Amino acid sequence: MNPSWLKLLSSTFSEKAVPVVSDLLPQWIYCGYETRTIPRDYSWHGLKRGADPKHPYIVFQYTLDGEGLYEEKGRRIPLRAGDAFLTAIPSAHSYRLPEHSSSWTFYWMIIHHPTVRDRLIQTQKEFGTVFSLPSEATLHMLSAQICEQVVHGRYEDRYAFELALWEWALELERALSLIRSPAQGREQLLNWTRRQWAQRKSRTLAATDLAQAAGMSRSNFSHHFRKVTGFSPAPFLLQLRLYEAANRLRHGNDKLDVIAHELGFVDASHLSKAIHRHYRMNPGMLRRLLHRK
């Protein structure tokens, strides 16, 4: 599985990490995408990087493959695919490629922007330093887009960049809050889907459209939707279409074939069968029942 955000990262960076410096963005961000294979060549200590305690910066690193190691306060935490860390420099921690690991592939972002940095320090305090994020998380596409835009100098001005960076920081906070509260995450995803549906005048929204809006592949989005809600997008979208059909039957005089066409059903017969399966009555009976209400 190769999500679209990973393809974007791969195309943005060569095999070696590429530090990013731009006159436009006064050294607010550096980012990279790399694979490490030699333990002695990859080891960082949070108090040995020459950082000014009065002006700390943030490191975010997400593991794509292999295994790394994060150490803090006597804890040794393996970092495998899907694991990430968010830490401030300087602070008493270290991360490295351990001797037993043959490789570690990851992307990273170093953030110096002062107000975003302060918000991320609060995020670290609230949610912890090491956590897991699914590969289909929206955050990764935002990461890939920021890196690609910075590397190629495509931000119109510093304000466009700051807006993107704030969106990234808040999306990280949102993703971690949803992991902490799965029920809240489920309802937010369903509400987001309802909003996407409401914005489509044709009411023919499909899982592919939702995936595109979320910046994911169709398969990744479907997997994410099922994981969060317990069911796939298709039956939920069908439910929305049937609710709309019932609303049209109650408040309008459109013929069934017109409603079927506008809601993406093959024909009136197709819609009629779907209504019968869902409401246990035919469209005529449903219209009369709703009119009485």
Mean pLDDT of 161-176: 93
Diameter of the chain measured on Cα atoms: 77
Q: At residue 224, what are phi and psi to the nearest 5 degrees?
A: -65, -45
Which residues 6+ apart lie within 8 Å of 22 measured at CB? 150, 153
Which residue blocks in the chain are alpha helix, DSSP H?
4-12, 114-127, 138-151, 158-180, 182-199, 207-214, 218-229, 233-251, 256-262, 268-279, 283-292
User: Do 268 and 260 meet the contact criterion of CB atoms below 8 Å apart?
Assistant: yes
pLDDT, residue 57, reads: 96
pLDDT, residue 292, reads: 67
Which residues 6+ apart lie within 8 Å of 123 measured at CB? 86, 169, 172, 173, 176
List, for residues 23-75, the tens digit of each pLDDT value: 555 578 999 999 999 999 999 999 999 899 999 999 999 999 999 999 999 99
Binned at pLDDT 50, 70 and 90, residue 17 comes out as very low
Beta bridge partners of 77: 70
- Report the C-alpha gap between 79 and 95 in whole angstroms: 9
User: Do 144 and 2 meet the contact criterion of CB atoms below 8 Å apart?
Assistant: no
**For residue 130, how many C-alpha atoms fall within 13 Å in the half-sphere facing its CB?**
18
In the predicted structure, residue 269 carries a pLDDT above the cut 60: yes
In the predicted structure, residue 170 carries a pLDDT above the cut 90: yes
Six-digit token pair at 33?
Answer: 């995408």
Q: pTM for this structure?
A: 0.66
Binned at pLDDT 50, 70 and 90, residue 19 comes out as very low
Amino acid residing at 279: Y
- Report the C-alpha gap between 222 and 235 in whole angstroms: 12
**Complete domains list, the chain, with CATH:** 4-180 (2.60.120.280), 183-293 (1.10.10.60)
List, for residues 201-232, the tens digit of each pLDDT value: 566 788 898 888 887 788 888 888 888 888 89
List, for residues 4-16, the tens digit of each pLDDT value: 899 999 988 864 4
pLDDT, residue 48, reads: 95
User: Do 146 and 165 meet the contact criterion of CB atoms below 8 Å apart?
Assistant: yes
